[in-house]
């Protein structure tokens, strides 16, 4: 597996900027739209759980589970961007992930932030 299998984030072509900061240098917030989130829940695959259990006895990275979590986070982020776009935003500030166990059968991943409309500063 290559590095692309273990990464995420936006493509440079995205029309909705997503940042973890309170602001974007060179821009001002013209309008705050409000909280947006993208949510997904993934069930545990029995085969991967058995493999992870065996791997945990000898140590090392659980690559299958890592790849699944990356895919899950990317899906949650895509849903967040879709929500922001649907509400008229061109940016999401204070982006974060929240990961929790969902009823002991899977993992819930929530991507959330504040949808805003930003515009360049007049310099």
- Which pLDDT band, with edges at 50, 70 and 90, does 2 fall under? low
- Which pLDDT band, with edges at 50, 70 and 90, does 123 fall under? low
Q: What is the pLDDT of residues 94-105, one digit of tens each?
A: 999 998 887 777
For tokens 């900027």, the residue is 17
User: Is pTM beyond 0.85 here?
Assistant: no
Distance of CA 73 to the CA centre of its chain: 4
Parallel, antiparallel, or unpaired for β 17-18 and 91-102? Answer: parallel
Taking the CA atoms of residue 107, residue 11, residue 15 and residue 99 in that order, the dihedral angle to the nearest 10 degrees is 20
């Amino acid at each position: 597996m290559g590095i692309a299998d273990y990464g995420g984030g936006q493509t440079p072509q995205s029309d909705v900027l997503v940042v973890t900061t309170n602001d974007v240098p060179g821009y001002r917030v013209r309008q705050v739209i409000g909280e947006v989130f993208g949510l997904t829940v993934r069930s545990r695959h029995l085969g991967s759980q058995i493999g992870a259990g065996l791997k945990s006895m000898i140590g090392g990275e659980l690559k299958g589970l890592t790849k699944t979590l990356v895919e899950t986070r990317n899906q949650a982020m895509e849903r967040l961007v879709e929500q922001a776009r649907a509400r008229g935003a061109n940016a999401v500030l204070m982006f974060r992930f929240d990961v929790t166990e969902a009823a002991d059968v899977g993992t819930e991943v929530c991507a959330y932030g504040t949808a805003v409309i930003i515009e360049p500063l007049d310099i």
